[in-house]
Chain A
Amino acid sequence: MVDGNSVNTTREQLLETIRSIETQTLVNIILAFFVAYIFARIITALLSKLSEKMSRSGRIKVKMVIPAVKFGIYIVAFYYFLTELLNIFGPELFLLTGLIGAAVGFGLKDLFADFVGGVIITFEKPYQVGDKISIGNYYGEVTDIGLRATKLVTPDDNTVTAPNSLIFNEAIASGNYGASEMMIVIDLYIASESDVKAAMKILRETVVTSKYVYISRTSPVILLHKSLPFYTRLRAKAYVNDLRDEFEFESDVHTRAWTEFGKNGIRAPQLHILNIPQIGEESELRTTRRKNDRSNVIHGKYSDFNAGSQKNS
Chain B
Amino acid sequence: MEDNSNKTDEMVFGEIIGMRDEIGKIQEAIADFEVGKKLNVAIIAGLFGGKTTLIKEIEKLNLSRATKITFSEVVRDKKEISLSGDTKRVVLFDNCHFLYVRKPGGFDIFYEFLDMISSQNRIFITTWNIYSWKYLKEVFELEKYFPVQIVVPAFSEEHLKQLIFNRYEEGEIIFNNGGESDEEPVAYITEYPIELSAIGKKISIPILKINIHYLKKYLLSEKKEKKEGKEKTAEHRVFERIHLESKGNPGVALRIWKLALDYPHIKPEDVGNFSYDIELEQEEAFVLNLILSYQGLKKSDIVDIIGSMLKTDEVLFQLLNQELVFEDENDSFRVRPEALHSVITYLEKLRLVW
- Interface residues, chain A, with chain B CB atoms under 8 Å away: 53-58, 180, 202, 205-206, 208-209, 211, 214-217, 221, 241-242, 245, 256-257, 259-260, 263
Determine if A209 and B104 form an interchain contact, defined as CB atoms under 8 angstroms apart: yes
A260 x B104 contact (CB < 8 A): yes
The interface centre, meaning the residue of A55, A206, A217 with most chain B CB atoms within 10 A of its CB, is A55
Binds A, one of B57-65, B195-203, B332-340: B195-203
Question: Is B77 among interface residues, defined by CB-CB distance under 8 A?
Answer: no
Once the chains are docked, how many angstroms separate the CA of A273 from the CA of B20?
A: 68
B223 contacts A by Cβ under 8 Å: no
Write out the residue numbers on chain A whose beta carbons fall within 8 Å of the beta carbon of B105.
Answer: 202, 205, 260, 263
Interface Cβ pair total, 8 Å cutoff: 59
How far apart sit A215 and B135, CA to CA, in the bound complex (Å)? Answer: 8
CB distance from A163 to the nearest CB of B (A): 34
CA distance A208 to B354 in the complex (A): 14
Structural contact, B138 and A216, CB atoms closer than 8 A: yes
User: Interface majority SS on B: helix, strand, loop or mixed?
Assistant: loop
Q: Counting CB contacts under 8 A, is B286 at the interface?
A: yes
| Nearest A-chain residue to B135, judged by Cβ | A215
In the complex where A206-B104, A209-B106 touch, is A55 in contact with B197 (Cβ < 8 A)? yes
Interface string of B335-354 (1 = CB under 8 A from A): 00000000000001111101
Cross-chain contact A211 with B104 (CB below 8 angstroms):
no
Beyond the given pairs A55-B197, A58-B199, A202-B104, 13 more chain A to chain B contacts, judged by CB atoms under 8 angstroms and listed by A's residue number, are: A54-B349, A55-B348, A56-B351, A58-B198, A202-B105, A205-B104, A208-B139, A209-B104, A209-B106, A211-B352, A216-B138, A256-B104, A263-B105
Q: Which of A55, A202, A217, A242 contacts B200 (CB 8 A)?
A: A55
In the bound assembly, the distance between CA atoms of A217 and B143 in angstroms comes to: 13
The answer to the question of B107 belonging to the interface, with a C-beta cut-off of 8 Å to chain A, is yes
Q: Is the CB of A55 within 8 A of B349?
A: yes
Q: B162: shortest Cβ distance to chain A, in Å? A: 37
Chain A residues with Cβ below 8 Å from B139 are: 208, 215, 221
Residues of A within 8 A of B352 (CB): 211, 241
Chain A: minimal CB distance from B52 (Å): 26
B136 to chain A, nearest CB (A): 10
Proximity string of chain B (262-283) to chain A, C-beta cutoff 8 Å, 1 when within and 0 when not: 0000000000000000000011
Which 4 A-B pairs have CB atoms at the shortest separation, nearest pair first?
A211-B286, A55-B349, A205-B104, A215-B138
Q: How far apart are the CA atoms of A205 and B305 in the complex, in Å? A: 12
Report A58 CB to chain B, min CB distance, Å: 4
Known: A205-B105, A260-B105. A55 touches B138 (CB 8 A): no
Instruction: Let me know if A211 and B283 touch, CB within 8 A.
Output: yes
Contact status B103-A209, CB under 8 Å: yes
Q: Which residues in chain B, 123-146, are within 8 Å of chain A measured between CB atoms?
A: 135, 138-139
